[in-house]
Amino acid sequence: MGCQEVHAVTLLAFVCGTSSVSGLFAAVLLPQWRLMKLYTFNRNEKNLTVSMGLWVKCTRLEWSRDCMIYDTAWFANVDQLDIRVLQFALPFSILTAATALILCLIGICNTTFNSNIPSLKIAKCLVNSAGCHLVAGVLFCLAGAMSLTPSAWVIFYNNILNSRYGPYFTYDIAVFVAIGSAGGMFFTAALLFAWYCNCKSSSSAYWQPLYSHIPNMANYIPPSYSSQSPLSAIDIDFPVTYTV
């Protein structure tokens, strides 16, 4: 696996990172973060299910998919601490992961355009590929932590709500989507770090994250200059012939 070639690790990392960001974005938009089931013993009335998301709240009849009441102002009136934290944490996590994706793409671009394949030498990026992948891996870890911690907190916060108000609350599918996306970000960071460790074992200076396109000067011996020119240092008598 050459560090200066396009290979499966960096491409797989980019695909996994893109899928993780897409999944986290879908989790932000989903209204199924928490379910509140309201039961009644009156046979003339039906049970209600309230789906709470980060931005909207949907009230529907049990076993029905159509919302009877669609509260679009829920994001401003949230009275649950975990959902309020998610409203701030997940957008920042998406922004951080998107920045990491851009850096990962720049690193792949740099790797491609510095390839030994002549057809791919179309342009030359002025950034270091190893540095881009390292920073992208750190940002993916940060984004994964920002999305995993509040998403997992929803599960434990349900126990607090159930102990306070009764066994009415449960978490829904958006929690699993967010946790899975956070796991994908950690896996993407692991792939990028594995690429860097593989390149670091090579003798080339290509893997150095703080230098870009610097030749290896380890075995470079500077020439010695003398005060005299090479021709003047050699005294050779050449016969001179004159022709008339």
CATH, residue 150: 1.20.140
Query: Residue 65 CB: number of other CB atoms within 10 A?
Result: 7
pLDDT per residue over 129-169, tens digit each?
A: 778 888 999 999 999 999 999 999 998 888 888 888 877 88
- The verdict on residue 57 lying in a domain is no
- The verdict on residue 173 lying in a domain is yes
- The verdict on residue 237 lying in a domain is no
| Domain limits for position 93 | 8-35+82-202
- The verdict on residue 19 lying in a domain is yes
Beta bridge partners of 60: 49
Residue 212 is predicted with a pLDDT of 44
pLDDT per residue over 49-104, tens digit each?
A: 888 888 888 888 877 777 778 777 777 878 788 888 999 999 999 999 999 999 98
End-to-end CA distance of the chain: 72
Number of domains within the chain? 1
pLDDT per residue over 220-237, tens digit each?
A: 455 554 444 444 444 445
- The verdict on residue 125 lying in a domain is yes
